[in-house]
């Protein structure tokens, strides 16, 4: 069994326990004596996660004020110190996320693991860069819920999130108040089949030098408040919007991004799944020509120049085949060659 297959098996076991716990809750049974057999690194991550749970009250107080305006700045130091004391791989982090979300029943209970996951991802990136390697993290949620996952993350080269539900996922990426520990620096951020509200919102695109933000079938009020340094801040959509966003960094980005809704195609989910990303884009292009052919032509040029068709085809394929290492490698190659993400780092 390969390392990927072993890790996948661990995460499937964790999710099996998650489903079992949920069933017991529905039946009014309090689960007792649930034991896991994680790796040593995972055990340490779990122990650290329990240690930071004492900060739940402070985080909740801030969240109830306004998640968009307040930031748990006083908690960065203890969370970061804990992260620095741990040894873990990207697979350990993925397994810890599944474990930590396996027995939560409310948004409030997700705030601490969501924020700590951001600290861990920042630390993971720092260590990779110290070894002159690229920081790549791909997480497939298998349709489970992960409120607040990776909110306030400041540093990662390639972050891909597929097939998950929740609110405030990857919210406020690149937040500058973490600068005491590390200046924000984002590569490319991508989400496919992500459902919920306020996901990929308030991204500090310009401040964090983000090289690209991409979304396909991101369902809900999402992808708004994109701080790109000019008038565009996303569209937002509504609870039923299936968002499609192609937003690469450009020297002159005005008019070079595409934020649309897959519902405008008036096709079923299966019909869209059978279209290539280029076909999806060009159908949107035809509609946009009705309003401004000049703007639509400019978007088409950028789509071609920035390899949008191949990138989205690969992202969508990875969402269907999360264990495809070759697909992830191809995405990383585009990130480094086309988007100049960590071009001096090895992967």
Dump pLDDT digits (tens) for 152-186: 899 999 999 999 999 999 998 998 766 666 789 99
The CB density around residue 36, as the number of other CB atoms within 10 Å, is 14
**pLDDT at position 105:** 80
- Distance CA(134)–CA(55), nearest Å, equals 32
The answer to whether residue 23 is domain-embedded is: no
Provide the residue range defining the domain that includes 215. Answer: 37-337
The answer to whether residue 48 is domain-embedded is: yes
For residue 303, pLDDT beyond 80: yes
Ramachandran angles phi, psi of 186, nearest 5°: -110, 140
Q: Which of 14-18, 36-40, 94-98, 133-137 has the lowest mean pLDDT?
A: 14-18
Longest dimension (CA), the chain: 64
The answer to whether residue 58 is domain-embedded is: yes
The answer to whether residue 230 is domain-embedded is: yes
Total domain count, the chain: 1
- Residue-wise pLDDT tens digits, 10-67: 455 555 544 444 433 333 333 444 555 445 899 999 988 888 877 766 666 665 555 4
The answer to whether residue 218 is domain-embedded is: yes
Which residue has 């790549």 as its token pair? 136
Q: Write the CA distances from 162 to 138, 189, 218, 294, 320, integer angstroms.
A: 8, 11, 10, 34, 9
The answer to whether residue 10 is domain-embedded is: no
For residue 241, pLDDT beyond 60: yes
The answer to whether residue 305 is domain-embedded is: yes
- Distance CA(22)–CA(114), nearest Å, equals 20
Order of all β-strands in the sheet with 155-165: 136-140, 155-165, 185-195, 212-219, 242-248, 258-261
Question: Which tokens is 161 given?
Answer: 């999130």
């Amino acid at each position: 069994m390969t390392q990927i297959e072993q890790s996948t098996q661990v995460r499937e076991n964790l999710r099996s326990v998650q489903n079992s716990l949920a069933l017991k809750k529905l039946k009014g049974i309090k689960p007792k004596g649930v034991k896991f057999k994680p790796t040593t690194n995972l055990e340490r991550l779990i122990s650290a996660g329990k240690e930071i749970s004492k900060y739940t009250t402070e985080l909740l107080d801030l969240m109830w004020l306004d998640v968009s305006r307040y930031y748990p700045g006083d908690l960065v130091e203890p969370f970061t110190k804990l992260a620095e004391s741990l040894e873990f791989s990207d697979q350990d982090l993925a397994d810890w996320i599944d474990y930590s979300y396996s027995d939560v029943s409310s948004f409030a209970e997700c705030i601490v693991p969501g924020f700590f996951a951001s600290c861990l991802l920042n630390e993971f990136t720092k260590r990779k860069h110290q070894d002159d390697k690229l920081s790549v993290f791909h997480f497939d949620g298998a349709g489970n819920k992960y409120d607040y996952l990776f909110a306030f993350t400041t540093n990662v080269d390639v972050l891909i999130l597929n097939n998950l539900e929740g609110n405030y996922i990857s919210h406020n990426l690149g937040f500058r108040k973490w600068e005491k520990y590390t200046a924000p620096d984002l590569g490319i951020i991508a989400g496919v089949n992500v459902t919920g509200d306020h996901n990929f919102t308030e991204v500090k695109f310009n401040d964090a030098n983000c090289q690209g933000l991409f979304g396909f079938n991101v369902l809900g009020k999402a992808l708004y408040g994109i701080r790109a340094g000019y008038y565009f801040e996303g569209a937002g959509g509504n609870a039923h919007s299936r968002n499609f966003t192609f937003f690469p960094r450009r020297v002159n980005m005005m008019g070079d991004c595409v934020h649309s809704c897959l519902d405008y195609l008036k096709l079923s989910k299966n019909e869209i799944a059978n279209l290539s990303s280029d076909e999806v884009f060009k159908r949107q292009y035809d509609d946009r020509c009705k309003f401004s052919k000049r703007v639509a032509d400019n978007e088409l040029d950028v789509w071609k120049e920035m390899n949008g068709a191949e990138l989205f085809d690969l992202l969508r394929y990875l969402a269907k085949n999360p264990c495809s290492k070759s697909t992830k490698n191809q995405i990383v190659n585009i990130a480094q060659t086309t988007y100049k993400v960590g071009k001096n780092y090895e992967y």
